[in-house]
Amino acid sequence: MTRRPNSQNKRRYKKETDARRAELQVSRKRQILEQLGIWALVKGTPLASAMLESKGPPVKIEFGNGVTDDNETRRLHQELVHAAESATFDCQLLGNEFTSADYFVHVAPMMDCLHRRVYEDRKSQRVQLEARDRTQLVETQTFSRAFRSICDRIQSSLIQCCNLRTTLFYLNAQPCRTSIGQLKIALIIHSFPQTPIEVILEGKPRPTVACGMPNARAGKPWISLGPAGIHWAEWHASKLGIADSNRVYRILIQSHVFDQLEERLSISPFLISQWERHDWLWQSLQDVNNQSDPDVIVSNQNGVVSFLVKYIFYGYKVGYLSGEIAGDNIVVRTFLFLTMDGTPEGNQLWKRLRLTKQDKKYAELDQLVTFVLSDVAADPQLAEIFEECGCGQLLRMVEQPIKEDAAFHRADEIRKFLNLSPRVN
DSSP3 helix / strand / coil % (the chain, rounded to 5) = 50, 25, 30
DSSP state of 142: I
Per-residue pLDDT at 215: 67
Element housing 159 (H / E): helix 143-159
Per-residue pLDDT at 5: 58
Per-residue pLDDT at 218: 43
| Most confidently modeled range among 182-186, 357-361, 414-418 | 357-361
Looking at per-residue pLDDT, the higher value among 134 and 59 belongs to 134
Q: How far apart are CA 319 and CA 75, in angstroms?
A: 35
Per-residue pLDDT at 181: 73
Per-residue pLDDT at 199: 94
Question: At residue 225, does pLDDT exceed 70?
Answer: no
* 360 confidence band (pLDDT: 50, 70, 90): very high
Looking at per-residue pLDDT, the higher value among 332 and 242 belongs to 332
Question: At residue 412, does pLDDT exceed 80?
Answer: yes
Q: How far apart are CA 101 and CA 278, in angstroms?
A: 30
Per-residue pLDDT at 117: 84
Structural contact between residues 102 and 24, judged by C-beta atoms closer than 8 angstroms:
no
Per-residue pLDDT at 373: 84
Looking at per-residue pLDDT, the higher value among 245 and 162 belongs to 162
Closest CA to 214 of 239, 236, 242, 188: 188
Which 3 state secondary structure label does DSSP give 421?
Answer: coil
Instruction: Enumerate the β-bridge partners of residue 123.
Output: none
Q: pTM for the complete prediction? A: 0.82
Summarised one tens digit per residue, pLDDT across range 28-54 is: 999 999 989 999 999 999 999 999 998
Q: How far apart are CA 29 and CA 23, in angstroms?
A: 10
Per-residue pLDDT at 92: 81
Q: Angle 274-290/255-264 helices, nearest 10 degrees?
A: 120
Per-residue pLDDT at 191: 87
Backbone angles phi, psi at 86, to 5 degrees: -95, -5
Mean pLDDT in residue range 348-365: 92
* 1 confidence band (pLDDT: 50, 70, 90): very low
Mean pLDDT in residue range 191-216: 89
Instruction: Enumerate the β-bridge partners of residue 89.
Output: 98
Contacts of 305-310 with C-beta under 8 Å, sequence gap 24+, read: 305/240, 305/242, 307/240, 308/336, 308/342, 308/343, 309/284, 309/285, 310/284
Locate the domains of the chain by residue range: 12-191, 195-337, 344-417
Mean pLDDT in the chain? Answer: 86
Lowest mean pLDDT among 10-19, 140-149, 356-365: 10-19
* 227 confidence band (pLDDT: 50, 70, 90): very low
Closest CA to 140 of 117, 104, 115, 118: 115
Summarised one tens digit per residue, pLDDT across range 140-165 is: 888 888 888 888 888 888 888 899 99
Lowest mean pLDDT among 60-69, 81-90, 333-342, 371-380: 60-69
DSSP state of 26: H
Per-residue pLDDT at 294: 82
Per-residue pLDDT at 351: 94
What type of residue sits at position 71? Answer: N
Question: At residue 219, does pLDDT exceed 50?
Answer: no
Mean pLDDT in residue range 368-372: 90
Per-residue pLDDT at 148: 85
Question: At residue 260, does pLDDT exceed 70?
Answer: yes
